Every structure is written in structure tokens, then in C-alpha cells.
Amino acid sequence: MKTEKENHDGESCQSTINPSEWKGRTIEIDDAGTGDLVGDAFIGFRDTQSEKIIFRSIPVGLYNEENKSDDKVKEHIVKITIDALRALNHTKGDRILLCRGNCFDPVREYFHENDIYYEPAIVEGKLQDAVEGKLIQHLRKLGVSSRNLTKEAGIQRYFVLFDWVCRDFPNRERFVKTGFPAWKKKWKNIAIRRYKKYQRNMVQKKSVIERRAKEISKNMLEKPISVRDAFSDR
């Protein structure tokens, strides 16, 4: 069902922090990771009456170059949304507060076609915190250990993840959403160059450490310290 305001700008959306009154039940829907460079993405669903929150994932493999061209991501998002709403026993009397993100465009189309009522929203608060936390938990499991990795989406998180990929590019590119146009046009080449630079730096550091170790060993052989000498100052 089309809402009275279809534009996805800030003026047409209400915040889930202080939503308008509704006699029935409200279900909030939000995403995390759909715009991030690395890892799976997640969709979170919150029943505001029971406080129940459930998650559905979008595998990173669906974001590779081949699948992006086939719109498999869009199909998958619609599929998992239907599945989650069924799990929450969604009925026609419920209101859905749907994140205004572009990844939900196919969901909006599905809602229109199936006469499912929703309102565009800026999802904040409990669900936003939960779904972003789910993403961070996933990224930690992949091995992203930077202290600068936070729940705050944006440019800083992008470069934390990009730097993580660069440091071990051959083994970590498989976790990248390679279907993003900018990856192929720009960032992949930069990642390769940075990886090579990191490798050169590691070789140089290893060389310095080995040279210093040899110097210490040589000094110890040339000027051995006896037990008596070691305790002579005591």
C-alpha cells in the first residue's frame, strides 16, 4: 500500500525514537552493512510490543560482480523480509516502519504490490543499535581487530575495513563486496599497491630485527659476561 508521502527524504520520514501514535502493533525494519566494503550485510526486525528482535543475513557472495548484475541481492532482501515478517506473525493491522535506505526499494515495491502498509522512517534507537552490533560482531569474527571499528557507519568505518583488506589482500579480497562499481574502477588497484607497500615494510622491519639480533649475539660472543661479573655490582 502506498503511503501518503513516498519521498525518502528527511521531511517525509519520522524517527522511530518518537513515532506517531498507532493503535495496532508496529514492526521496525533496518539494515546494516549494505553499504560497507567488507562482509555480510544484515537486516533487523523489531516488534515494538514484545521487544523481540530478529535478524536475517545477506551473504557477501551476493555482492560480487556476477550476482550484482543479476539483481540477486534485491531478490534475497525481499525473500528474507517476507520470511522475517512471517516469523513475527505480521498481520494487515500492523504498521511497518521501514528504513528509507535504497536497499529496501524492492521491498517497497513488494509492499505496494501486496497491499502491505508501511511508513518510511529514520530508524534509530534499539533496532539500529542491535543490527549495527550484529554487523560488528560478524566483522570481528572475520578478523577485523581495529579499535577504530565502531557501530557508526560512514567514511571512517569504510577506511578501517579497507585498510584491513590491504594488509592481507590475497586472502581478504574474498570478503569484499566486489560488485560495488568503485571497487573495480578505483579501490582494488589502490588496495594492491598498499598491500605491496605493507609487504615491503614488513621485509624491511624483519631485516632490521635480524641485523640487530646478529649484532647482539656477536657482542655476547666477543664479550661474554660471567656469572661473577653479572653480580659484581651487588
In-domain check, residue 62: yes
In-domain check, residue 161: no
Which range (12-26, 112-126, 142-156) has the least confidence?
Answer: 12-26
In-domain check, residue 214: no
In-domain check, residue 74: yes
- Structural domain count, the chain: 1
Enter the pTM of the model. 0.82
Separation CA 121–CA 98 (nearest Å): 5
Separation CA 22–CA 41 (nearest Å): 30
Separation CA 21–CA 9 (nearest Å): 21
In-domain check, residue 207: no
Backbone angles phi and psi of 225, in degrees to 5: -105, 120
In-domain check, residue 221: no
Three-state SS for the chain is CCCCCCCCCHHHCEECCCCCCCCCCEEEEEEECCCCCECCEEEEEEECCCCEEEEEEECHHHHCHHHHHCCHHHHHHHHHHHHHHHHCCCCCCCEEEEECCHHHHHHHHHHHHCCCCEEEEECCCHHHHHHHHHHHHHHHHHCCCCCCCCCCCCHHHHHHHHHHHHHCHHHHHHHECCCCHHHHHHHHHHHHHHHHHHHHHHHHHHHHHHHHHHHHHHHHHHCCCCHHHHCCCC
In-domain check, residue 149: no
Mean pLDDT value across the chain: 87
In-domain check, residue 224: no
Tens digit of pLDDT for each residue in 45-98?
999 999 999 999 999 999 998 776 668 899 999 999 999 999 999 998 999 999
pLDDT of residue 10 exceeding 50, the answer is no
CATH of the domain at 120: 3.30.420
Tens digit of pLDDT for each residue in 13-26?
889 888 888 888 99
Separation CA 85–CA 146 (nearest Å): 35
Q: And the C-alpha cell for 144? A: 577485523
Separation CA 46–CA 70 (nearest Å): 30
Binned at pLDDT 50, 70 and 90, residue 223 comes out as low
83-101 burial: b if 16+ Cβ within 10 Å, else e: ebbeebebeeebbbbbbbb
Instruction: Return the pLDDT at 29.
Output: 98
* Domain hosting residue 133, numbered range: 10-138
